[in-house]
């Protein structure tokens, strides 16, 4: 199994809603990532979990809250988002994480629209 699975594929939410994005991998990778990608732009790093501990937080607003329940799962909890948060949210995993040959495996993403 060489897949990173993200759910849901599409999400529309209002500014007062609470929702969660989910990501799962069964490759035994020890690092998991959240990226945000706006249209026609490169992915921007949000968070990195390495061995289930948050190792990088790119000064992301607190309305985004990551969670890593175990080494295979990664969640992104969303609350009180703004329309400018609309984007493709990509999850990725790598075998060992930052500092090494960091070959990332990406999921297909969740296309988020905030109304």
Partner 1 sequence: GEDVEQSLFLSVREGDSSVINCTYTDSSSTYLYWYKQEPGAGLQLLTYIFSNMDMKQDQRLTVLLNKKDKHLSLRIADTQTGDSAIYFCAEILMDSSYKLIFGSGTRLLVRP
State the residues that interact with partner 1 by CB under 8 A: 4, 40-43, 45, 56, 90, 92, 98-99, 101-109
Check: CB of residue 60 under 8 Å from CB of residue 52: no
Query: Nearer Cβ to partner 1, position 62 or 101?
Result: 101
Please say which residue, 5 or 82, places its beta carbon nearer to partner 1.
5
Q: Minimum distance between the CB of residue 40 and partner 1, rounded to whole angstroms?
A: 8
Residue 83 or 99 having the CB closest to partner 1 = 99
Q: How far is the CB of 110 from partner 1 (least distance, A)?
A: 10
Distance CA 19, CA 113 (A): 12
Question: Minimum CB separation from partner 1 for residue 70, in Å?
Answer: 22
Burial class (CB in 10 A: 0-12, 13-18, 19+), 109: buried
Neighbours of 32 (CB within 10 A): 26
CA–CA distance, 60 with 73 (Å, rounded to integer): 20
Taking the C-alpha atoms of residue 115 and residue 107, their distance in angstroms, rounded to an integer, is 24
Rounded least distance, CB 66 to partner 1, Å: 16
| Closest CB to partner 1 among residues 79, 106 | 106
């Amino acid at each position: 199994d060489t897949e990173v699975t993200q759910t849901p594929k599409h999400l529309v939410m209002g500014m007062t809603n609470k929702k969660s994005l989910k990501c799962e991998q069964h490759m035994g990778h020890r690092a998991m990532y959240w990226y945000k990608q706006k249209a026609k732009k490169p992915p921007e790093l949000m968070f990195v979990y390495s061995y289930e501990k948050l190792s990088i937080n790119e000064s992301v607003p607190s309305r985004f809250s990551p969670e890593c329940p175990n080494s295979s799962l990664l969640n992104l909890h969303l609350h009180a988002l703004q329309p400018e948060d609309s984007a493709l949210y990509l999850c990725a995993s790598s075998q060992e994480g930052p500092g090494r040959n960091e070959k990332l495996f990406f999921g297909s993403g969740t296309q988020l629209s905030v109304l």
